[in-house]
Amino acid sequence: MSERWATFDCYGTLADWVGGMTAAVAPYAGARTPELMDAYYAAELEVEHEQPTARYREILALSLERAAARVGVEVPRDAIGATWGDMPIFEDTRPALQALQADGWKLAILTNCDDALIALTVEKMGIAFEDIVTAEQAGSYKPAPGHWEAFARRHPDVGVHIHVAESYVHDHVATHALGLPSVWIDRRRTGQDDSIVTAHLHALKALPETLARLAASAA
């Protein structure tokens, strides 16, 4: 049987990025935390585009600095990076990934994080991934195709490859352009157009069953 690979975005999909980020800045931003987080989302996309080879911890600091200036709050520029290891893992992550491994899937992470920070999260997750491609390694940030290109170079003989992610902008727009099957873990129920994804879920519980069905249809 040819290898079946499920690649994952990590933050927002496997780890609670919103919860971890919010906890990091709330002591400084207080009631303006939601406003700061909205400004941060926009700022990070800008900074990643402007500095595609910068280490992610620096991206975090520059993006937070820019967002805080726009909102008019004072937050230490390393507030997020310094608390990265505290980011919670979603409760459904480990059971779903363990079920996939038991079913013979090989698992990889394709993340905009850097090598040092993703190591903290993977250790907390307690899952042995067959590969991890970071922005530090790819030399670019998603939605640029560098992560998928790096993965393809490392694993040229993949039989089935399905990408699983929460981020519509960073991941699903890119996988649609690449013609790669994808499963959207729409935890925040954003209401965005799901015609560009192969399957649409709101949590990971049904992921093993969904991937088995997609792999069977691709056979």
How far apart CA 19 and CA 139 sit, in angstroms, is 27
Quote the crossing angle between the two packed helices 115-125 and 93-102, to the nearest 10°: 80
H-helix or E-strand spanning residue 84:
none
Task: Please give the structure tokens belonging to residue 2.
Answer: 């040819």
Give residue 181's Cα distance to chain centre.
16
Q: How many helices (H) and strands (E) does the chain have?
A: 9, 6
pLDDT in tens, the chain (219 residues): 579 999 999 999 999 999 999 999 999 999 999 999 999 999 999 999 999 999 999 999 999 999 999 999 999 999 999 999 999 999 999 999 999 999 999 999 999 999 999 999 999 999 999 999 999 999 999 999 999 999 999 999 899 999 999 999 999 999 999 999 999 999 999 999 999 999 999 999 999 999 999 999 886
pLDDT in the model for residue 199 = 98
4-16+88-218 maps to CATH 3.40.50.1000: yes
Q: Which residues contact 156 (CB under 8 A, 6 or more apart)?
A: none
pLDDT in the model for residue 187 = 97
Q: Are strands 160-165 and 4-8 parallel, antiparallel or unpaired?
A: parallel
Domain boundaries in the chain? 4-16+88-218, 18-85
Give residue 149's Cα distance to chain centre.
16
14-32 core/surface letters (b: 16 or more CB in 10 A; e: else): bbbbbebbbbbbbebbeeb
Are 105 and 127 in contact, with CB atoms under 8 Å apart?
no
pTM of the predicted model, to two decimals? 0.95
Residues annotated as catalytic are 9
Determine the 3-state secondary structure of 106 from DSSP.
strand
Residue 173's CB is within 10 A of a number of other CB atoms, namely: 15
* Amino acid identity for residue 100 in this structure: L
pLDDT in the model for residue 160 = 95
pLDDT in the model for residue 1 = 53
pLDDT in the model for residue 218 = 80
36-45 LR contacts (CB < 8 Å, sep 24+): 36/67, 36/68, 36/71, 36/73, 36/75, 39/66, 39/67, 39/68, 39/70, 39/71, 40/64, 40/67, 42/67, 43/67, 43/70, 45/169
